[in-house]
Amino acid sequence: MAGPADVSDRRKIRIKVPALTRVEGEGALDLSIRDGRITELKLNIYEPPRYFEKFLEGREPAEVPDIVARICGICPVAYQMSAVQALEQIAGFTPSADLNKLRRIMYCGEWIQSHALHIHLLAAPDFFGCNSITELARSHAAEVHRGLLLQALGNDLIALFGGRSVHPVGVKLGGFHRVPDQAARTALADRVDAALPAAAELVRWCASLPLPHDDQDFVSVSLRHPSDYPITGGRLLSDTGLDVDISEYQQHFVEHQVPHSTALHALLNHEPYLVGPLARLNLNRDRLPAATRALADETGIRFPSRNMFHSLVARALEIHLALTEAARLLAQPDDDDSLTTPASPLPAGTGFGCTEAPRGTLWHRYDTDADGLIANAVIIPPTSQNQSRIEQDLHRSLTRLGLNRDADSLRLRAETVIRNYDPCISCATHFLTLNLVRDTSPTDPSDRRPLLLLGTGSALGTDSRAPQLVTALARDPTLQPYIADGRLRLLASLQPLRDGLSLADASARLVVLDTLSGTPTAGRLRHLRLNGAEPPPAWSSHQLSLPQLAELRTLVGVDQPLELLALPPAPTTTPDGPVQATHVAVVRDWLLTQLVARTAVSDTEPADKSDPA
Amino acid sequence: MKPSVAVHKFSSCDGCQLAFLNLGEDLLALTELVDIRHFLEAGLAEEDAKVDIAFIEGSVSTSEDAARLRHIRDNSRHLITIGACATAGGIQALRNLHDTTGWTAALYASPQYIDSLDQVTPIRDVIPVDLELWGCPVNGRQVIAAVQQLLFGVAPPRQQDSVCLDCKRAGNTCVLVSGNAPCLGPVTHAGCGALCPAFGRACYGCYGPLENSNTEALAQQFARLGLDAAAITRRFGLITSGAEPFAGTVAKWRGLPT
């Protein structure tokens, strides 16, 4: 690795993190530093999408718990619970107090198991210079054994209700296939009570670790319940004033795709936000049981906290909370032994479910058809909600650490920052490979073809959205270096070309920016490479046809397939209202990915995949 | 020198790796017996390590997966696939039943960034596999047993029993016979301990089909119980829809009118 940096160098650092976030599998962190500033920071997710939301269509509601459990091996219970909540709403079924109690115990088991695994297997080794829990066990055997004991107890609580802790089989619409008897509950309750002192010690140990000071501004989002610490339900709250029913989620939180990720990013009012243990604690400290709250106070940390490194302590506190709840609820006898079941098949309808998975708010929506089968599913996991926040955090954290630090320090800080979020497959954090390239020349991209972005429409008339957007992009500071060295050309209309402007480079990429007519939500960009086939009419409000495309290509003088970049219609009352800042950002981000060198993994764009469907 | 082990993950939920991580104390004991060289979730990274035993979790979903698998095969003396995804394509093999050209576009605004193969395939379609451990999730005891058996130089025995035998051993009431529930137990590998029938519900086949089992006769029985063709298709086409003979039964009943 390289030594201390010379700030005047045009220094480019690429950090690669394999296996990152909820979507498990390959992920990379791209970091570019130039002249002492971060110019590019992207969390790239390469995990192949498994298309759960699509193959849920046409399935019976009774199958949904078994299906969605397979989204995540560490938190299957969370998926099952959010799902049954939504489906029971469609059925018009209200869980009894007994059922809510039993579900809460099972969910506590998952919190205990997941948090204990994260703290000991994934996070703790860092604070002792170890690479793994097995190394840590040599120097801190007692703490490791304590962690494994808590993890096993969590697993057994889940298995009490579901037979096994990974993809348990007990949850169903209307309740459980088998309710554990009192003897089984009592046996587990004894173990839970016996574990409380260990959980308290764990909180103290976590608070004693050398956690960096790194306060940042961020928005915390979680559920909130009238009386309990939120696990199984509540209203959606933020610490900036949001307080809505879960059915309104899609009106406030927008998912959009970024080019470097196969997981959709979510924004609240166009801003990144945090879900997870720290967000929950920030919003619900007053809901902690007395003993847990006393422990929180004992740590000396003031909650709400702005320091993501306190997430570790938040997790330990939540283990204590979950054990306390489980002990309390296991001891409560059932009011009513009977279990009712919702009528089958379900009616046509829409249902929402939102619960707090170990990693944060997990939101489901299902629509059923007239046959009572699933017609549509939307599932928004906590880790994808955190992705924008992780990027924002890395940006600020690394800048604050000092971008002139050596490569190893930067890499280690990035690792620990990512780990605070406990992305669901946190294995990444140990494998940041830092390739430090010191050069004084412009970045060395794999694709040096100039890119010409052309906004269709008329800058003067009502059809001015794309030209206005191109004009806004021309003013964007991050694009200036590329415009200056000729790698990016922005044209707000065809007129200069008709007037005789020529582009010398026939290999240039011609990308036409256009407005999509009639489809989904704001922020989504669609990109097509047109290999001679006519685009489907729905893609282009200008109904770009083959002859017009041919004219464009001749006019511009390029010999490459034309590319179409289509914006969704603006959600304003006038079809061509003021250019939205979101769309400028989305198109700019896309341009940056095209202009800056990409990693070996992402620079293959299978041409046949971009043919119009 | 201790035998060396690697654990590799492909397209999966990660639940089978938890077979190791949920071992608790036994995980630490395992590391005394073997040298775990690569296991990302446990914090050990050495993708290119040459090892005695490589465990593979997950199905093949992208063109890079195939190349990575061949590399792993070259570096491993024994290669064991664990779980429904690696052995059968897993639940995401349901994608193979649909025309998915529109799916990526429906979910992702810029579908060309998504490098996805058309078909989800199990690991053995790409490289030779020495042992398959089925299950969703795989049974952690079976995995450890396989490690121990290989360390002793013994070939791990193939699992040939159906779930029915585990039900009989446990004394469960048969849900198919007494409950008219569409149970896949007669045609599914044992290994889970017959959990679902113990919970009073029909087995849904997460340990995958037994080879040469009579799925067609069972499908006919489901029809007599009142399931229509679409429901029968769903029954056999869930966790291991890509594995025979489930795949054949799914293909046949999909074509039938409901």
A427 closest CA partner among B80, B17, B22:
B17
Secondary structure string (H, E, C) spanning B97-117: HCCCHHHHHHHCCCHHHCCCC
A526 and B CB contact within 8 Å: yes
Give bridge partners of residue A527 from the DSSP assignment: A565
Specify the pLDDT at position A603. 27
Contact B92 A610 (CB under 8 A): no
Report the alpha-carbon distance of residue A427 to residue A26 in Å, rounded: 11
Q: Mutation test of the interface with chain B: which of A46, A51, A373, choosing the one with the most B Cβ atoms within 10 A? A: A51
Q: Which domains, from first to last, does chain A contain?
A: 11-48+386-438 (no CATH), 52-380 (1.10.645.10), 451-610 (3.40.50.1450)
Contact B195 A169 (CB under 8 A): yes
A426 and B CB contact within 8 Å: yes
Over its C-alpha atoms, chain A yields an Rg (Å, rounded) of 26
A63 closest CA partner among A80, A85, A76, A86:
A80
Q: Where are the beta strands (DSSP E) in B72-231?
A: 76-82, 131-133
Note the Cα B81 to chain centre separation in Å: 8
Q: Structural domain boundaries of chain B?
A: 4-151, 163-254
ipTM of this predicted structure = 0.94
Give bridge partners of residue B39 from the DSSP assignment: B7, B44
B98-131 pLDDT tens trace: 755 555 555 444 444 445 556 788 999 999 999 9
Is the bond leading into A304 cis (omega within 30 degrees of zero)? yes
Phi, psi for A356 (deg, rounded to 5):
-100, 100
Secondary structure string (H, E, C) spanning A478-531: HHHHHHHCCCEEEECCCHHHHCCCCCCCCCCEEEEEEECCCCCCCCCCEEEEEC
> Which residues of chain B does A67 touch, with a Cβ-Cβ cutoff of 8 Å?
91, 238
Contact A134 B113 (CB under 8 A): no
Specify the pLDDT at position A187. 96
For A:236-295, CB contacts with B below 8 A are: 256-257, 259-260, 262, 264
Regions of chain A where pLDDT drops below 70: 1-30, 43-50, 256-265, 337-339, 425-448, 457-464, 497-506, 515-561, 567-582, 593, 596-613
Report the alpha-carbon distance of residue A80 to residue B106 in Å, rounded: 24
A601 and B CB contact within 8 Å: yes
Report the alpha-carbon distance of residue A24 to residue A79 in Å, rounded: 16
Closest Cβ opposite residue A131 in set B43, B62, B109: B43
**Amino acid at residue number B212:** N
For A:97-156, CB contacts with B below 8 A are: 117, 121-122, 125, 131-134, 137, 144-145, 148-149, 151-152, 155
Q: Mutation test of the interface with chain A: which of B110, B163, B196, choosing the one with the most A Cβ atoms within 10 A? A: B110
Specify the pLDDT at position A24. 35
A401 closest CA partner among A389, A413, A393:
A413
> Which residues of chain A does B95 touch, with a Cβ-Cβ cutoff of 8 Å?
50-51, 54-55
**DSSP per-residue codes, A58-95:** T--GGGHHHHHHTT-SS-HHHHHHHHHHHHHHHHT---
B179 and A CB contact within 8 Å: no
Structure tokens at A131: 């690479």
Report the alpha-carbon distance of residue A85 to residue B193 in Å, rounded: 29
B215 and A CB contact within 8 Å: no
Q: Mutation test of the interface with chain A: which of B113, B138, B139, choosing the one with the most A Cβ atoms within 10 A? A: B113
Report the alpha-carbon distance of residue A445 to residue A443 in Å, rounded: 6
Contact A152 B24 (CB under 8 A): yes
Specify the pLDDT at position A34. 73
CATH code of the domain occupying B4-151: 3.40.50.700
Buried (b) or exposed (e) across A396-424, using 16+ Cβ within 10 A? bbbeebebeeebeebbbbbbbbbbbbbbb
Question: B9 to chain A nearest CA, in Å?
Answer: 7
For A:173-192, CB contacts with B below 8 A are: 177-178
Local structure of residue A128 (DSSP, 8 states) = T
Specify the pLDDT at position A157. 98
**Which residues does B112 contact at the CB level (< 8 Å), separation at least 6?**
A527, A528, A529, A605, A606, A609, A610
> Which residues of chain A does B111 touch, with a Cβ-Cβ cutoff of 8 Å?
609-610
> Which residues of chain B does A602 touch, with a Cβ-Cβ cutoff of 8 Å?
113
Residues A104 and A234: beta-carbon distance below 8 Å: no
Residues B114 and A260: beta-carbon distance below 8 Å: no
Contact A54 B107 (CB under 8 A): yes
Question: A381 to chain B nearest CA, in Å?
Answer: 13
A170 and B CB contact within 8 Å: yes
Sign of CA dihedral B223, B227, B228, B234: negative
Closest Cβ opposite residue B14 in set A164, A178, A425: A425
Specify the pLDDT at position A399. 86
> Which residues of chain A does B104 touch, with a Cβ-Cβ cutoff of 8 Å?
49, 609
**Amino acid at residue number A12:** K
Question: A391 to chain B nearest CA, in Å?
Answer: 19
Q: How many beta carbons lie within 10 A of that of residue A8, not counting itself?
A: 9
Burial of residue A179 (number of CB atoms within 10 Å: 0-12, 13-18, 19+): middle
**Which residues does B116 contact at the CB level (< 8 Å), separation at least 6?**
A48, A49, A609, B61, B62, B104
Residues A164 and A81: beta-carbon distance below 8 Å: no
Report the alpha-carbon distance of residue A39 to residue A21 in Å, rounded: 23
Specify the pLDDT at position A509. 80
Contact B43 A121 (CB under 8 A): yes
Render each residue's pLDDT in chain B as its tens digit; 258 residues.
889 999 998 888 889 988 778 888 888 888 888 999 988 777 777 888 999 999 999 998 767 788 899 999 999 999 999 999 999 999 988 877 775 555 555 544 444 444 555 678 899 999 999 999 999 999 988 898 888 888 788 888 877 899 999 999 999 999 999 999 999 999 999 999 999 999 999 999 999 999 889 999 999 999 999 999 999 999 999 999 999 999 999 999 988 765
B5 and A CB contact within 8 Å: no
Report the alpha-carbon distance of residue A521 to residue A278 in Å, rounded: 30
Structure tokens at A65: 């718990």
Closest Cβ opposite residue A70 in set B13, B103, B104: B13
Size of interface A-B (CB pairs under 8 A): 215
Report the alpha-carbon distance of residue A21 to residue A575 in Å, rounded: 38
To which residue do tokens 């799914």 refer?
Answer: B250
Report the alpha-carbon distance of residue A302 to residue B232 in Å, rounded: 57
